[in-house]
């Protein structure tokens, strides 16, 4: 079973979850990065620009990933919640690659409003087997609770 962990993270929360998955599973990791990052990491403007990207269904150009999706049996996809759904970088990723017949795990971080994030990813990845999912509230801020939740979740994953 070959596993890939693919994630986007503006401020490091989703990255933290990705790294914990990596500690537990033998996986290759890929971070999605915009070619031109227009979203500030701090301050109110990140919500304005990020929210606009979501509403406009923008697909920002991503740096080359050098991934061969066909190699993998199982893919974990990680995203922060932006405006109640997945981040625009994930939209770019999903539209660029054909993902079918895979086992899929979904992880996301948010500040208390998961919205439709997980369901939207599932809807946009038809023809796959969704094996597990988790959402974590502000994993960097809630370090201890989030570590416990992630560790418990990881114990349930049998691949």
Question: Would you tell me which residues interact with ligand FMN (CB under 6 A)?
Answer: 9-15, 46-47, 50-51, 80-84, 109-113, 115, 138
Q: How far is the CB of 75 from ligand FMN (least distance, A)?
A: 18
Give the CA distances from residue 105 to residues 36, 61, 64, 78, 79, in Å, rounded to whole numbers and listed in that order: 28, 24, 22, 8, 12
Q: How far is the CB of 63 from ligand FMN (least distance, A)?
A: 17
* CA gyration radius, the chain: 15
**Between 35 and 38, whose beta carbon lies closer to ligand FMN?**
38
Q: Which of 40, 14, 41, 2 is nearest to 150 (CA)?
A: 14
Q: Which residue is nearest to ligand FMN (CB)?
A: 50
Which H or E run contains 150?
helix 143-155
**Between 35 and 48, whose beta carbon lies closer to ligand FMN?**
48
**Between 22 and 159, whose beta carbon lies closer to ligand FMN?**
22
Distance separating alpha carbons of residues 81 and 138, to the nearest angstrom: 11
Q: How far is the CB of 108 from ligand FMN (least distance, A)?
A: 8
Distance separating alpha carbons of residues 81 and 118, to the nearest angstrom: 9
Q: How far is the CB of 127 from ligand FMN (least distance, A)?
A: 27
**Between 11 and 124, whose beta carbon lies closer to ligand FMN?**
11
Terminal Cα distance for the chain, rounded: 7
């Amino acid at each position: 079973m070959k596993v890939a962990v693919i994630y986007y993270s503006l401020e490091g929360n989703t990255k933290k979850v990705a790294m914990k998955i990596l500690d537990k599973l033998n996986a290759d990791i890929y971070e999605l990065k915009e070619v031109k990052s227009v979203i500030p990491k701090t301050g109110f403007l990140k919500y304005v620009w990020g929210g606009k990207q979501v509403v406009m269904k923008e697909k920002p150009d991503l740096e080359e990933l050098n991934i061969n999706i066909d190699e993998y049996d199982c893919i974990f996809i990680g995203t922060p919640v932006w405006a109640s759904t997945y981040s625009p970088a994930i939209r770019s990723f999903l539209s660029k690659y054909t993902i079918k017949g895979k086992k899929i795990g979904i992880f996301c971080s948010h500040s208390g409003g998961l919205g439709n994030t997980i369901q939207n990813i599932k809807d946009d990845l038809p023809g796959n087997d969704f094996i597990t999912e988790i959402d974590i509230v502000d994993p960097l801020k809630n370090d201890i609770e989030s570590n416990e939740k992630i560790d418990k979740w990881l114990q349930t994953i049998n691949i």
